[in-house]
Amino acid sequence: MGQAIPFLVLLCLQAAFLTVSADKKMGQAIPFLVLLCLQAAFLTVSADKKGPPINIGKQEGGDIRGGRQPGAGSSFFKVQQQQIWNVYKDDDGKFVIPYVFENMSSYNPEELFNFALAMDQIDRNTCIRFRPRRNEHDYIYIKNERNGCYSAGAGRGGGQQILGLQSDRFGRCTDVKTLIHEMIHAIGFVHEHNRYDRDNHVKIHLENVRAKYEPQFHKASFYQSHTYDVPYDYHSIMHYEKDSFAKRKGAITIETLDEKYQKDLQLSELVKDPISTIVPPNLTMSRKD
């Protein structure tokens, strides 16, 4: 029976993301129906033993690897239009990001439920819709490998784009907030502390950062990025913790200029970033000024 669980969960996910109904009330009921379906799946099998959650602010290699990184290179201004997920839309005009699992059975039912919750959070709070891939050319390829939590670049890279989400006895990236964080990278956003205006809000202590991780604290260029007039958010799900990549325990790498936020500096549990205003239907990531 345990081998059938991934298939049951897949059916639940498809029910959530592929059901098309003219009745909006019915559409609103889908997440609840999926919840019941997944809970039924939980009752049939015990959760696999998995390692502890991986702290993406302290893992080796960072969590944006390869691909194009907004604000990280001189070529970003020229290629940024190609990075926008604006090629696929649903019937409501929302932007669709197709995805596929390399091996869904490598995640247990609880983890697959977390995937559904993370995607639902993004669906409810943004103009982005994650949907199972049909035959789209560009898509997210969710891969379970012993390589931590990462997105292969930020934004649409073209073709198959890996979203690496480890889940095994050594560690896992499958709590809801980590899933949302990595999905937002795949959408096209970097970390909050990389904003070009970050010096008005935080002080980066490079003297406390392990040398090979200094690039994790580079500031995006004013001419190669855009804040869309969204205020700096200490509680952003995309903000690193105060001691991320520190050389030693207790060392501070990110200090808030407003000291009342220093103790709270960590990944939030929910999507608070107004991506719907950052990624409007007429999205243009280049500067006009």
Beta bridge partners of 171: 168
Q: Where are the beta strands (DSSP E) in the chain?
A: 95-101, 128-132, 139-143, 149-151, 160-165, 167-168, 171-172, 202-204, 254-256
Clarify whether 145 is annotated catalytic: no
Whether 235 has a binding-site annotation, put simply, is no
Cα→Cα distances 28→11, 17, 129, Å: 18, 12, 15
Residues contacting residue 93 through CB under 8 Å, at least 6 positions apart? 281
Our CA angle for 152, 158, 163, nearest 5°, is 30
Q: Catalytic: which of 60, 110, 111, 182? A: 182
Beta bridge partners of 150: 164
Q: Residue 272: left (phi > 0), alpha (psi -120 to 50), or beta? A: alpha
Residue type, 126: T
Whether 185 has a binding-site annotation, put simply, is yes
* Contact assessment for residue 39 and residue 124, using Cβ atoms and an 8 Å cutoff: no
- Tell me if residue 212 falls in helix, strand or coil: helix
Whether 181 has a binding-site annotation, put simply, is yes
Q: Residues comprising the binding site for Zn(2+)?
A: 181, 185, 191
Catalytic positions are 182
Q: Residues comprising the binding site?
A: 181, 185, 191
